[in-house]
Structure 1
C-alpha cells in the first residue's frame, strides 16, 4: 500500500489515509505530508455541524443523522424507524432555525396542524361533551403553545453544543405533538452530553479542523490510540470520511481515501448505507475509496462488508492466499473470482522467477474483468521510507541527526552504507548501526561529506 499510494501521489492524486499502526509515517515524512495523530491532549477535532446553506441537502442530513445515532446508540445499537425519522426531523428543524429563524406557523402550516389535532381527538375519543366552538378554541390554544415553544428555541451558531441544546428541548416537544411514545430521552441526553461543553470529549465535535488540510496533498490520520474505544474510534473514522467528502467536492484533481483497519469500526448496519454512498459519490468527483485488511475473515464474515464495500469495489488486490486454499471457495464466491483468477492467485510467490532480481513480493490485482499477478520490487531507498521496523527507524534517525540533513538525504546515505556493507537485509545492518551508535561511512561518497 505504501507503494500504491506513493505512485498515486506522484500522479498528482490527493491522498487521505486513516491508519492504525504508523504504517505510513515514513512515507508521509518523506513526501512532506501532514501526519495527524489522535492524543488525549490534542484530539482530532472538527465541527461537522458547521455548514453553509448550499450544503444543506439530503446527503448532509443523512451524515449528521448517522453521527447522532452513532453517539446515541453505538455501532451495534438497534435503531427503530421512529428514532431514525425523529433525528432527521430535529436536524432539519435545527438548520431551519439557524438559516431562516422561526417566527411562527404559516396559515397552511396552522391548517395542517389543526387537521392533525382534530384527527387525534377523534382517534382518542376524548372531549365528547365539548361543543365544536370549545374544541376549536382548545385546538387553537394548543397550536399557539406549540408555536410559542418553537419560537423560543434559537440557534445562534452551528456546532455540536448548539445542536445538543436544541435537540434536548425539541425532541420531547416533537414526541408530545405527534403522540410518539417509547423514546428514551434520558439516555439520549446522557450519551450526547459526553461531547457537549464540559464533557470528556467536548472538543471533538465543536472545534473546526485546520482549514489548511484542504490544500495538503498527502494526509495521514493516525488513530491507533483510540482503536479500542467503542465510541470514539468509529466516530472519528466517520467524521474523517466526511472531511474527505468535502475535500473531494472542492478540489478538481483526482482524490483517494484509503481506510486501513479502521473500516471495521464502521462496518455496521448503521453505517452500511453511508459506506455505499461514499463509494458511489466518489466516482462522480474523480475520486476513489479503498479499504485494507490483513484478515480475510473480516471480508468473508460480514454481509455488510459484501454489500457496502465489495460490491462497490472495481479493483481488488490480494496477497499470498495459500493458507486459505482449502476454504477459498467462499472467498472466490464473495469476490466474484473466476477459475482463471484463482489459478493466478495460487502462483503468488510460488514460481521460480527470482533469479537475477532483487527481493520482491507478488500481488494479485483485478481491475474490472482484467487480472494478473505483479511483482512489487522497490529499491532500498523506498524500503527505508516505508519501514515500520523499530531498529531500522532508529538507525535512520541516527543518520539524520548526525549528518544534520533532510529525511531524503539520510535515507540515501543509509542505503549507500547498507549496499557497501555487503549485508543483504536491512535489519542486520540497522542493528549494526545501532550497536556502533554513529554513521558508519562505509562508502567514499559518505566520507567526502
Structure 2
C-alpha cells in the first residue's frame, strides 16, 4: 500500500486538541501522560518455586497490583495505551563542571573519554482513550486509515465525558500512591509542538525523539514499512496461543544472581531496556463491558461446540472459552482484550536481519513465540499514533484479564541523573552512560538519610581506594575541605595533584605541628582549650594511668593563664610548646603557690620532668614547635599519613590529637563550607584510648556543621569484632558504600545483619562485578542511603584519571618520573603518560 497519493491531513485520525486532550475523527477522547518509572535493578523481588507453585512478593507484585487496581476504576470501552520509546543516542558532554565553574584538566579528559558514548534513551508515555461501543470491533479494512475522515455518530455524552475524567483522576491517584510511578499530563504544546520544538505527534510520525522541529516523513509500505528514511518492522504478541502457560511479574537475571542471591527485572525487560536497538514497545489493554462481552463469548462457545464434528480445534476452543468464562466468574476480574507489539527501525536496511534475530530472541526469553507481522505493519503503526489506539484491528487482540495483561507492561527505566549540581560522576550499570550522583545533599533532602556520614567497605583489590580518590577529587573541585587520615600512601598522588598538604614522618623530615598557635593571637575557644588539655594529658600520662580531677583542673588553669595572661604580657613571645613550657617553669609555680595547690593535687615536678623531651634540646623538640603548617584551617586538602608512626607510643597519640583538633576547628569555623574527614585503615590504630571518644563525638555532631565523616575499611572481621565501629560509627553512617563482596559471599549474612541491609540490598551487593562489559575498563560500587534507596553504579574514569589514582607501584613510579620531568606539572605529566598508555609506546626522557 502506498500513501504517497494521499496527503497526511486527508487521512490523519486526529481532529483537534482541546483542553490538552486529543480528539479523534471518530470522537475518541484521549488524555496523555509522561510517565516516570522505577529505575532498573532497584525493585525488590522474591519468589519461591516455579510455574503454578511460584509465590511472588516484593515491589514487582506491588506494581502489578497497583496497575490492576488503577485499571479497575476505568469505565468500559476505555483503552490504555502505554508507549515506551527506546532510542539509541550518543552521550554529549555539557562542558560544565558539577557544582562549580572550575574546569580542570581531568574534567576535560573525562569529557573526551565519554563523549559520543552510545546508550539507549528511554521515554515512557501513557494514553487513556475513551471510545464508544461502535469502535469496539475495528477490522483492518475499517480503520480511519482506510475509511478516511468520517463524522462520528456519537460526538460525546457530557455525563460520560465527566465520568471519564473523574476515572482518570482516580487512575492517576492510585498509580502515584505506590510512590513508584509518577504521571505528568502532557499539555497541548507538548502534543502538537511549537515553532521551536517538536511535539509528541510530530516525533512519532517521524520516529524521532529530537526536540527540534522535524519534517513529517512519508509513509511507504513495500516489503517493510518505511517512515522517511527509516525501515521499520513489527513483532507482535497478539495471539493467546503464542503465550506461555504462566506469566510472571519479574524474571531473575542469571548473570547477576548467585545461589544465595536473586537480582530481578520486570517480566517485559528483555523486550524493553534490555533490547539494544531503536524500538517502541506498544502495550494496549482494552477495557470491555462485562454485560456485553460475556453473552457474545458464551454464544461463540456454543457455536464452536456445535461444530465439533467439523474439527477438533472447535472443541478445544470451546473448552478454552468456557474456562475463561468460569475463571471470570470465580475471580470477578474485568475481561480485557490485549495486544503488545515491538516496532524496531533502522536507517540501514541491511541491519534488518540482525534486528530480527535480536527481537526474536528477546521475545523468546519471555516464553512467547516470536511472530513477525509483515502484512499489517502500516495498520499497527497507524494505531500507535497517540490517541488512535481504537484503530487497532480486532483480529490483533486476544482475550485476557487485567492481572495477566499488566505483567507484560514495562515497569522500569534507566537511572536518572541527580537533580543536584553537586556530586560524583559515575556510570549507569547497563550502558555506561555517565551520571551525576549526589551522595550527600539530595539523599538528605529526600529524607533517605539523616546525616551525610559514609561507611565504605571493600576488600583489597576491589577498587576501594580508587573510588575514594575519585569521590574526594570531585568533592574538592566543588569547594569542599577534606582531612584524610591514611596508612599506605593511597592519597599521595591526589594530594600532590590538588596542591594539598601531605604530612608524614621520616627521620630526614620529622613531622611537626604547633597546636598552641592561633591566628592573630586570639584566645582559644572551649574546644581548642580542651584539645590542648587532652594533648598535655597524653604527653604526661600513660594510657593506663588515671587522671584525677585536681590534675585536670590544674591543667585547665595552666592553659587559661598561658593564653590570657602570659602571652598578652609578653607580646614578643611566639606561641608554641617551648613558650608554654617556659611559662610553666617561670609563672605557673607562683600561681600554684598563690592558690595553695598542694603537691598531692598536682605533681608539678613530675609534669615538668615528663614533658622535658618536647622542649628545645629534647628528643622531640620539633614536634610541637613548628613555625610552618600553622594555618591548617584554610588548607582545603590535608593528608595525615600515619604509616611510619602508627605503633609509636609518643608520636602517634600526639598526631591523632592534632588531627582531631584540625578537623574540629574547620568544622566550627568554616561556615557554609562542606567539611570531610576520611579515616582509611588508620581507624584501627585510632580506635583506642581517648581517640575513640573523639570519633564517636564527630559522627554524632558533624552533620550539624555541614560536615561528613567517612570511614574506609577492608576486612569484614574488623567491623564485626570492633564494638566502637559497630555501635557508634555504623549506626551514625546512613550511607553505606560497598565494593566487590564476592570474596565474602559465604559469610555475607554477617555483614548484612551488621550493616542492617535489606534482602534486596544484599542481592545487589553480591551482584557487583558479575557481568562487566569486557569492552570497558571499570568496576562497580553499591551505594545504600539509609536503606531507603540503593543502587549499583559503575566507577569508570578516563585514562588520565585512572593513572592519577592508580595504586599499582609500577604505574605510580612512572607517573612520578613524568611529574619530575615536567617540574611538578601534573597536567602535563598525566597527558604525556596517558598518550603512552593509549598508543602502547614508552617514550624515554
| Distance of aligned partners of 1:399 and 1:273 in 2 relative to their CA distance in 1, 3 Å threshold | closer
Structure showing greater radius of gyration is 2
Distance 2:820 2:536 in 1: 47
State the match for 2:838 in structure 1: 419
How far has the Cα of 1:177 moved from its partner? 4.9
Is 1:306 aligned to residue 751 of structure 2?
no
Q: Residue 844 of structure 2 is aligned with which of 435, 438, 443? A: 438
TM-score by length of 2: 0.39
State the match for 1:230 in structure 2: 649
TM-score by length of 1: 0.70
How far has the Cα of 1:205 moved from its partner? 1.7
Is 1:192 aligned to residue 611 of structure 2?
yes
SS across alignment from 2:814: helix
Structure 1 window deviating more from structure 2 (36-45 vs 265-274): it is 36-45
- Point out the structure with the larger strand share: 2
State the match for 1:335 in structure 2: 755
Kept in 1, the 8 Å contact 2:632–2:662? The answer is no
Distance 2:829 2:688 in 1: 44
Q: Residue 258 of structure 1 is aligned with which of 660, 678, 687? A: 678
State the match for 2:544 in structure 1: 78
| Distance of aligned partners of 1:208 and 1:406 in 2 relative to their CA distance in 1, 3 Å threshold | closer
SS across alignment from 1:309: helix
Kept in 2, the 8 Å contact 1:63–1:274? The answer is no
Is 1:96 aligned to residue 514 of structure 2?
no
How far has the Cα of 1:209 moved from its partner? 4.7
How far has the Cα of 1:222 moved from its partner? 2.7
Distance 1:299 1:175 in 2: 49
Is 1:243 aligned to residue 243 of structure 2?
no
State the match for 2:577 in structure 1: 160
Structure 1 window deviating more from structure 2 (319-328 vs 358-367): it is 319-328
CA offset digits 1:338-394 (Å, max 9, x no partner): 2222222111122x24244x1111222222232222211111111111123232233
Structure 1 window deviating more from structure 2 (27-36 vs 401-410): it is 401-410
Is 1:294 aligned to residue 714 of structure 2?
yes
SS across alignment from 2:507: coil
The count of residues paired between Structure 1 and Structure 2 equals: 365
| Distance of aligned partners of 1:323 and 1:418 in 2 relative to their CA distance in 1, 3 Å threshold | closer
What residue ranges of structure 1 are gaps of 5+ in the alignment? 103-155, 422-428, 440-449
CA offset digits 1:113-166 (Å, max 9, x no partner): xxxxxxxxxxxxxxxxxxxxxxxxxxxxxxxxxxxxxxxxxxx87543455566
Kept in 2, the 8 Å contact 1:402–1:438? The answer is no
How far has the Cα of 1:191 moved from its partner? 4.2
How far has the Cα of 1:218 moved from its partner? 2.2
Q: Over aligned residue pairs, what C-alpha RMSD do you find?
A: 3.4
Kept in 1, the 8 Å contact 2:540–2:610? The answer is yes
- Point out the structure with the larger helix share: 1
Structure 1 window deviating more from structure 2 (280-289 vs 399-408): it is 399-408
Distance 1:398 1:269 in 2: 42
Distance 1:405 1:207 in 2: 26
Kept in 2, the 8 Å contact 1:90–1:167? The answer is no
Q: Residue 800 of structure 2 is aligned with which of 381, 400, 410? A: 381
State the match for 1:66 in structure 2: 534
| Distance of aligned partners of 1:63 and 1:281 in 2 relative to their CA distance in 1, 3 Å threshold | farther
Distance 1:191 1:180 in 2: 17
SS across alignment from 2:644: helix
Kept in 2, the 8 Å contact 1:272–1:308? The answer is no
Is 1:15 aligned to residue 482 of structure 2?
yes
What residue ranges of structure 2 are gaps of 5+ in the alignment? 1-467, 567-572
Distance 1:158 1:211 in 2: 11
Distance 2:815 2:514 in 1: 38
State the match for 2:497 in structure 1: 30
Q: Residue 46 of structure 1 is aligned with which of 495, 510, 513? A: 513
SS across alignment from 2:748: helix
Kept in 1, the 8 Å contact 2:784–2:791? The answer is yes
How far has the Cα of 1:22 moved from its partner? 2.0
How far has the Cα of 1:64 moved from its partner? 2.9
| Distance of aligned partners of 1:403 and 1:179 in 2 relative to their CA distance in 1, 3 Å threshold | closer
Is 1:273 aligned to residue 686 of structure 2?
no
Highest relative contact order (Cα 8 Å, sep 6+), 1 or 2?
Answer: 1
